[in-house]
Each structure stands twice: as structure tokens, then as C-alpha cells.
Structure 1
Amino acid sequence: MAFVRDTTIGALEIGVLVATFLFGVTCAQVLRYFRDSTKDPRWVKILVAAVWFLDLSHAVASCHYLYTTTISQYGHPELLLVPPLSFDFIILINGLIGALEETWFIRRLYTFSKNVWISGLCGVLAFARFSFTMTITIISFQLLPLPVFIENWWWLTAGTVIIGAITDVSIVSSLCHYLWRWRRAECRRITKLIDRVILCAIETSFFTSLVAVLLLVCFLTMPTNFIWIGIYMLLPRVFANSLLFSLNFRESLSQAFGATLSNPEAGLTRRNSLYGIDSQPVVMNDIW
């Protein structure tokens, strides 16, 4: 691997700095969640706390990785070929945060659609991504040089990113499909609410998928530099903020459509003609 500062430690530094900024966004979203969502079940609050703790651990590991490569190993570019142990923990944390985020959205999909097959398929894809990531973690703890890892296991990394992107798109497209069918059967006020939810789903999926695609392209076309590693630093931040944004988005909907959401008799129901189930009131947590 030829040593070029801009595409090695430069790309890594930019990735860590942007990821650190996004960690600040994560902290702000966590504070907002615990301030506004006091009525959420305890397990949801534990989920948010776990995501924040994992994101904090990722920030610490990222800073250690950057410090090691730019300070401790200064003047020894050959040491860049073997990432420090902190990079292995970054991979592990990435897999854990991604699994929590995808599990949350799959649960939302099943709660809303009651479709076992689609939710199950998304669950299988999410489990495959998690399994691939854990396999990469185990391999990385062997402290293999990057060229050796890329030569022998590039397909595993590429497969993980591809499966992750497919999972995200499958979840959001399925959710939007059911929301759109439901939208056609509701009153005008409810259609505005559903439009907001659909837009939120597309936005969260867009950013996670965009980062995944950029990571895949850079890894396949430039595996010998650190640009893909810099982008990889952003992936868990995007996962965490997508989850927290969806949770906090409920409060915004409640403020904008409070009367409709808080009143089960306001006409917000699932229609059996669309879903094959009994008509029943739908509350905010069923939507998002």
C-alpha cells in the first residue's frame, strides 16, 4: 500500500471528525427523547440508552484509532497496514447498533402491517447482516494486515454492505407500501399525517442507504486507501440517528395532529378491506 497522506490518515481524520460531530447530534436527540417521551415503555428507554452507550463507545474507539495512527505511530507509515485493536471494536459496535436499528424498524413494520412473511424476510436479512459483521469482527481480532484481509475477505465486507442496504430499502419500501394503501382509505386530515410519516421513512432510509452505497463503491474501487474506512466511521452514527429521529418524530406528529392521534374515535382505523383484519383504532405507536 503506497503511503499518501491525503487518502490515508487524511481520509481517516475527516471521517472521525464528521462522526464526532454526528455523535453530538446523537446526544441532542437522546436528550430530546428523554425529555419528551416520558410515557414510553421502559424497554424503549433502555433501547435508547443502549444505543447512546454504544455510540459513545464508538466515539471513544474512533478517537483512539485516530490518535494511534497520527500520534503513536507517527513516522511509521508501514504500521497503517495493521489497524489497532480499537478498529476491531469499531466493527463490533457498528454491527450491534445496526442490529438494534433494524430490529426496531422491523418491529414497527410488523406492528403496522401484521404481515409475518415480509417482516420475517426483513428479519432474516437483518440477521444475515449481523452475522456477517460478527464474522468480520472475529477475523479482524486476528490483527491481520489490511492487504491480507482485503485479498481474502473482500467479498464478506461487500456482502455485509449490500445486505444492509437491501434490508434498509426493503423495510422502508414495505412500510411505505402499507402506509400508502392505508392512506387511500382515510380522511384528508389523516392523509396529511400519513404523508409526513412516509416522508420521514424515506428520509431515514435515504441517508443510511447513501452511506452504504458510498462505502461499497469506495471499498470496491479504492480498497488500498482509507477513504472507505472514513466513510465506515459514519455508518453507526447514521444508524443511531435514524432510530432516534424516528422516535422523536412521533412527538412532532403528536403536536401537529394531537387531537386526531389522541382520540381513538377520530376515524383513524385500519380498514379490513385493505388488510384482511378487523377494523380497529390505531394509535401513534402503530404508525411509527
Structure 2
Amino acid sequence: MADPSASAPTPSISELMGGMVMTICISLIFYGVTTAQAYVYYLNSKRDSPWIKTLVASVWIFETIHTAVVLRFLYYMVIISFGNPQSLALIDWSLGVMCVSEVLILALVEGFYIYRIWILSKRLIILTVPLVVLLIARLGFTLSTAVYGLLARSWDAFQHTFSSSFSVLMACSFSAVVDGLIAICMMILLRHKQTGFNSRTDNVLRWIMAYSVNTGAISMVVSIVIAITYSTMQDSLLFVGLVILTGKLYANSLLGMLNARALMRQKANKTDSGLVELPTFNNRTTSICSHPTETFQQKTQEGADEIIKSNTSGDEDQDSVDILSTGKAVESRGVHVRIEVQHGDV
């Protein structure tokens, strides 16, 4: 009688590791992008609060640790296990460290997104608590996957054990649900923030909505692809490379959003030529641009006087006060006036 094990041929090195090595190479490129974005962020982060700067530094540090462990894992699979199929079939300890560092990155990034939803929704608990519960469940299943992998000791046992398979599929499912819900909540809340009066602010909000939807959709698709490749490609470690890539996507989405926000803020605050800065009052800056005209608008001038009076009152409840909020120029005796409030964003 033929040996049953002989009917299942051993996968070749290219089948087993080809897709994983390619995705790891792509993830290393993303780490370079993350480092560049972190550098750009700190060049333009004067208005941000210290805790946001600490968040960015923490994400980059965990990304660096994650990348170093990924290189250790790749070295084990390609160099140490070269010509040794038995060693190649084993799960190295570096995989568990990778999962822990990735969980920390996911907790920071998605926790930040949920916090922004909490602020935008005016601290609506019924909206944010379910997101927190889903995020905790997702992180728990990711950590349990790492534990099952280290206990299984081999890739074959890991992929054919019910507990580990269930943990992987649940982690991917919760990941897709959380990413999709965060993107939808951000889109709805930002849409309600549109005023219809200030086209510059509305353009910024529309851009942030599009960015949130795109990044959430990409992360959700990657999670679904991980579940599919894990279930259908039993002779390939492509799903491992995609899991490694996931952490890079989250770090890049956070830094990309922060850097793009600063860029859009600069564009929104861009004025005509001839800008003259006046003394500041309570962190507020008054700017005057020369703009000759013969038009005089009495009502708009009264509104300007009101804002100038409030400028010295110490009221700091709003992030930006702009006389141009109606979309019309404020013109009086050849002078164009604009008032701005400069605060750190949430």
C-alpha cells in the first residue's frame, strides 16, 4: 500500500516563500516611506499638541522594532534554513515578536482614529464604545494567533489546527469590520461639519473624507485577502507577508493623514499678496492684506469690528475665526482684513 503522505508533495521553495519574500520587500519600502513622513511631520508639527507628537514618535519606534524583527525572520527563513527543509518548516520566535509590535501599532493608530470620532461626535458614547470593543477583540485574536503559532512550532500544524485557524479568521474579520466602521463614521461626521459657507473649509473636509474612506477600504481589502490566502493557499506563506504589510499600511495612513492635514491647512490659510502681520492677542493673529477697492460694505465692516473686539476678550472656544466665512471679501477704504485664530488641532 502506498504511503498516504506521499500523495501530498512537498511544496517547492518558490511556492512556499516566493509571495512572502515579495510582500516583505514591499513592506520594507513602506517603512522607508514611514520614516520620511515622520521626518516631514516633525518639520511641520509646531501647532500640534505634545501627545500627538508622542503618538507619532511611538508609532515610528514600534515600526522600527517591527522592521528589525521582520529582517531577523527573513534571515532565518532564507539564510539559516537554507538547504534544511526541517528548519524551514518550523516557526521562528521572531514571528511572535512581530505580532506583538504590530498589535501595539494597530492599537495606537486605530485608537487615535476612534478618539477623533469621539471628539467629532461630541463624545457620543453609544458610537465610540462599540468601536473600542471591536478593536479590543481584534487585538485579542491577533495576540492569540501569535501564541498558537509559537505553540504549534511548525507551519503545517499551525495551518491545520482548528484553534489557530479560527483565531486567524476572526482577527481578519474583526479587522475588516473595524476599518470599515471607522471609515464610515469619519465620513458621516465630517460631512455634518461642512458649513456650505466657507468653500475652503469644505474642500479640506471633503479631502479628509476621501482619504479616510480610501485608507479604510485598503486596510479592509488586505484583511480579506489575508483570510482568503490563509484558507486556500496551504502551501504558501503569502499570508504572513500580508500580515507584515498590514502594520506598515496603518502607520503610513496615520502619518499621511497628519501631513496632508498640515498641507491642506496651509492651502486653506493662503491669502492674497501683501500680507502684513499685526500683534497677537492671546495666541490670535491679525493679518491685513492690501487690496485697493472702492467698495464699502457696512454690514461686513460691523462684523469685522465684532471679531476684532472678541480678539482681545480671551475667548478661545473656536479654532478659526475668518471674516471671509461667507465667501465674500471684506473691503473697506482700500483695506482687506482677515482675522485668524491659531490653535493646536485635536
Query: Shorter-chain TM-score category?
Result: 0.7 to 0.9
- 2:314 alignment counterpart: none
Distance in 2 of aligned mates of 1:228 and 1:66: 14
| 8 Å Cα contact 1:3/1:77 also seen in 2 | no
- 1:285 alignment counterpart: 345
> How far 1:259 moved relative to its partner?
6.1
Distance in 2 of aligned mates of 1:70 and 1:21: 19
Distance in 2 of aligned mates of 1:61 and 1:143: 20
Q: Which runs of 5+ in 1 are unaligned?
A: 269-280
Distance in 1 of aligned mates of 2:191 and 2:135: 24
The alpha-carbon distance between structure 1 residues 43 and 95, as it changes in their structure 2 partners (threshold 3 A), is same
> How far 1:184 moved relative to its partner?
5.9
User: Which of residues 195, 211, 223 is equivalent to 2:234?
Assistant: 223
Q: TM-score, length-normalised on structure 2?
A: 0.73
| Runs of 4+ that moved beyond 4 A | 259-262, 265-268, 281-284
| 2:87 paired with 1:113 | no
SS in 2 for 1:172: helix
Distance in 1 of aligned mates of 2:323 and 2:143: 47
| 8 Å Cα contact 2:48/2:345 also seen in 1 | no
User: Which of residues 29, 35, 43 is equivalent to 2:37?
Assistant: 29
Deviates more, 1:128-137 or 1:105-114: 128-137
Give, as a single letter, the amino acid of the residue that structure 1 aligns with 2:211.
Answer: C
Identity %: 22
| 2:124 paired with 1:124 | no
- 2:299 alignment counterpart: none
Question: 1:87-134: CA deviations, max 9, x gaps?
Answer: 111111111111111101001111111221111111111111111112
The alpha-carbon distance between structure 1 residues 221 and 283, as it changes in their structure 2 partners (threshold 3 A), is farther
Q: Which runs of 5+ in 2 are unaligned?
A: 1-8, 272-317, 326-340
User: Which of residues 218, 223, 234 is equivalent to 1:212?
Assistant: 223
User: Which of residues 151, 157, 166 is equivalent to 1:155?
Assistant: 166
Matches within 5 A, 1:140-151: 140-142=149-151, 144-150=153-159, 151=161
Distance in 2 of aligned mates of 1:267 and 1:224: 62
> How far 1:283 moved relative to its partner?
7.2
- 1:12 alignment counterpart: 20
Distance in 2 of aligned mates of 1:99 and 1:120: 15
> How far 1:81 moved relative to its partner?
2.2
User: Which of residues 49, 63, 66 is equivalent to 1:55?
Assistant: 63
Question: 1:126-183: CA deviations, max 9, x gaps?
Answer: 1111111122233333352222222231011110011011101101101101222332
What's the RMSD between the two structures over aligned residues?
A: 2.3
Q: Which structure shows the bigger proportion of residues in helix conformation?
A: 1
SS in 2 for 1:211: helix
- 1:273 alignment counterpart: none
Distance in 1 of aligned mates of 2:320 and 2:20: 51
Computing the radius of gyration from Cα coordinates, the structure with the larger value is 2
Give, as a single letter, the amino acid of the residue that structure 1 aligns with 2:167.
Answer: L
| 8 Å Cα contact 1:125/1:163 also seen in 2 | yes
Higher relative contact order (CA 8 A, sep 6+): 1
Q: TM-score, length-normalised on structure 1?
A: 0.87
The alpha-carbon distance between structure 1 residues 43 and 258, as it changes in their structure 2 partners (threshold 3 A), is same
| 8 Å Cα contact 1:95/1:130 also seen in 2 | yes
The alpha-carbon distance between structure 1 residues 235 and 148, as it changes in their structure 2 partners (threshold 3 A), is same
| 2:272 paired with 1:264 | no
User: Which of residues 197, 205, 229 is equivalent to 2:208?
Assistant: 197
| 8 Å Cα contact 1:264/1:283 also seen in 2 | no
